Structure 1
């Protein structure tokens, strides 16, 4: 691997970067934790500007960063705090649309390079969708470089007006919670017993209970396997505004689904699962899809966004919003152990093509060097 410098443009002191987070996305927060650890190990000074609760969850300080509490809002007070934190930065790196917009406001009038990473697409409907497009345009035009975690996001950034947009696939950090699960053969029956899935297939979905995550379609799809014997159990790990609606349907229709709320043991849940389900309307570089393939759990996912690029032929892909197709894919896989084994093997091969955390840090640092090194004398 080509070594990269961690020095400022003058070659005198360590490069100082500010990482800006909105605090609302687990994938981007985990990435910043991983990136911080790798940058600090390479001699880079890192300040993470994020809500206090994000630091409590991801321990940026423990990774060697200085943490500055910046609330998620874009009010003048938050922007002023962020502007002060960026005062002597060699480079600012913002993650996600709203954090990036705050960084643009905070850097107004300064020549500090701004790198923006789009981990996902900001989801919005109606009038808010127009507002989101305006924010995207403002951000990409101000950014020195836009890094997209998938080709779809890179293309979107270019269409929106980015002068320099590049693919920068984000590595999957270590297990959620930072602890490797215990021996799967011992753990699996324990988790299944806790969930009430002894002697029946266990299907696992993970994600915020929001409309674009496709959980209403998932509930519709359960009709396809309610006649199976034994009836598979679906568990959904996540919390959100749709909880009451989904729980009402589960109870009214007697659906074989359990809402687990927020969980910090996703690796353990996957260890116990027969299938992983991802019914979303949009996904970029889905953490669940990566975790499922790493854990050798067959995945049924919607053919949307960055999913086909991410999983290749290592998952069953179905159209979004089609409960029949989703239900049939699940029933077919549960009845075909050879197909499940094939997907497991393909998953391991596909996961081996993804970047490591070290490779991700090296790529990002090469972008930093490019933007902060002095131009050669002619």
Structure 2
């Protein structure tokens, strides 16, 4: 088959998922071309890539993106188009892509702001124009059905395996007794303000946050100031390619998001055998089960208790790690995810 994969701006999980699909589908003999922003192509190094500037949010240049994608698809004549995320799904649907598969990886969190009605309308367009919708978590499947989606299916995304890490160099760089790690885009969705507030309570501890994003300036300000006027023991690492080494050095991994589907870092932490504290939101409870300590989002006290409890009780941390490894063994693999996508394409094309 000739398969077109479309994505908008991505720096993490969605881009890595598309890399996995490209590799698996290409190995199966299909021709796969990725369409997306030039920066995304450079970051992930897709073998066959065509630049189409699809931004992370609504933009006046969306009409140009639709026109460019329509022209590219006419030239390629793919058997199926698979868009990843609401923005890519919107541009692909307006470009007339058929048959169109849309994977929903994230939820629109702005339900009350001035853009809420516009975003809800855009969601409805994508839900109703897709030939097939794949939701990576149960709540996303429910949302698309609520919006009028026709054929909507659960499609958990398997995380790519991490190599075995070596944390020695990182431990030498950060000599504090305890090392806490979080990885993700610097965005209000990630709830890092909660982590910064809790970090002020932890003596002889260093919190590392790996990632980049639009909330970096606000986060730096929160780290530099506080009720006590002292700097929080938090270091922003920026984008990192050594997550395996960071996990090998960490005593506890933390996810403080206000919503997630199947967060990549949460999966990496359990597979690496690092005790995880995560918020009880979106698809995380179904993903993690009893393999992580689950807390309410935005609850600084609960985060403090969960992290210090694991640091102070190595036996409890070891038991949590054991449950986490057992939970991770039940997740679909990358090969499973590719096989499900390929089966969907064959169903739609009759091939």
TM-score bucket (shorter structure): over 0.9
8 Å Cα contact 1:224/1:324 also seen in 2: no
Counterparts of 1:168-247 in structure 2, within 5 Å, are 168-175=155-162, 180-181=163-164, 184=165, 187-194=166-173, 196=174, 198-226=175-203, 231-247=204-220
Does residue 139 in structure 1 map to residue 126 in structure 2?
Answer: yes
Does residue 69 in structure 1 map to residue 51 in structure 2?
Answer: yes
* In 1, Cα distance between equivalents of 2:43 and 2:19: 10
8 Å Cα contact 2:280/2:294 also seen in 1: yes
Let me know the Cα RMSD of the aligned residues: 1.6
State the match for 1:329 in structure 2.
Answer: 306
Q: Which runs of at least 4 in structure 1 moved beyond 6 Å after TM superposition?
A: none
Q: CA deviation at 1:202?
A: 0.2
Rg larger for: 1
- 3-state SS in 2 of match to 1:173: coil
- 3-state SS in 2 of match to 1:33: helix
State the match for 1:31 in structure 2.
Answer: 17
Out of 87, 90, 105, the residue aligned to residue 101 of structure 1 is 90
Q: CA deviation at 1:59?
A: 1.6
- 3-state SS in 2 of match to 1:325: helix
- TM-score w.r.t. length of structure 1: 0.86
Out of 60, 66, 69, the residue aligned to residue 82 of structure 1 is 69
Q: CA deviation at 1:50?
A: 1.2
Does residue 51 in structure 1 map to residue 51 in structure 2?
Answer: no
- 3-state SS in 2 of match to 1:127: coil
- TM-score w.r.t. length of structure 2: 0.92
* In 1, Cα distance between equivalents of 2:41 and 2:243: 20
- Structure 2: 5+ residue stretches without partners: 56-60
1:76-128 deviation digits (Å, cap 9, x = unpaired):
33212211222211111000000100001111xx6x21000011213335022
* In 2, Cα distance between equivalents of 1:239 and 1:159: 33
Out of 110, 117, 120, the residue aligned to residue 106 of structure 2 is 120
1:207-238 deviation digits (Å, cap 9, x = unpaired):
22222211111122124424xxxx22111112
State the match for 2:243 in structure 1.
Answer: 266
- 3-state SS in 1 of match to 2:274: coil
8 Å Cα contact 1:224/1:328 also seen in 2: no
* In 2, Cα distance between equivalents of 1:251 and 1:258: 11
1:263-291 deviation digits (Å, cap 9, x = unpaired):
22112111110000111111111001000
Q: CA deviation at 1:133?
A: 1.2
1:290-322 deviation digits (Å, cap 9, x = unpaired):
000010000001100010011110000000111
8 Å Cα contact 1:223/1:327 also seen in 2: no
Q: CA deviation at 1:245?
A: 2.9
Does residue 284 in structure 1 map to residue 251 in structure 2?
Answer: no
Does residue 154 in structure 1 map to residue 136 in structure 2?
Answer: no
Q: Which moved more, 1:268-277 or 1:247-256?
A: 247-256
- 3-state SS in 1 of match to 2:158: coil
